[in-house]
Amino acid sequence: MVYASFLLIALLYASVGQVGASGYIAVMALLGFAPESIKPTALVLNTLVSLLVTWRFMHVGRLNWKLLWPFAFAAVPMALLGGHLTLPMLWFDRLLGSLLLVAGIPFFLKKPNEASLKPPFNKLSPF
């Protein structure tokens, strides 16, 4: 069940250009994973999905290296720093719950308009 959840999260998030850390963390937290294992697991899953998506964009010629390199250059040390930090369990639970709630608020507040309901069609899209 855990693997199926991770696969579904990876597919859904990757289809919109994200890698799914909040989804992986939510599943692991709900299933009672230890906080010490949540961070490295989410980091590894994020890395794998982002490498796959980057490869797909490269494969179809839609990757702009001039735009990518500053983000990649900054993201690697920040990911390592975030993986190194450890919070007490109480603060971890409170922070995680708060951030997931804040991340979900826009889905309930934003009303779809007609333009957002029509999917864009692009022959060069990797998905």
Q: Give me the residue label for tokens 């799914």.
A: 20
Query: pTM for the whole thing?
Result: 0.57
User: Does position 12 have pLDDT exceeding 70, yes or no?
Assistant: yes
pLDDT value, residue 43: 83
Query: What pLDDT digit, counting tens, does each position of 42-101 carry?
Result: 888 888 888 888 888 888 888 888 888 898 889 888 878 877 888 888 998 899 889 889
- The structural domains of the chain, with segments of one domain joined by +, span 2-83+91-98
Amino acid 94: pLDDT = 92
Instruction: Give the count of beta carbons closer than 10 Å to the beta carbon of residue 53.
Output: 20
Amino acid at 25: I
Q: What is the average pLDDT value for the chain, to the nearest integer?
A: 82
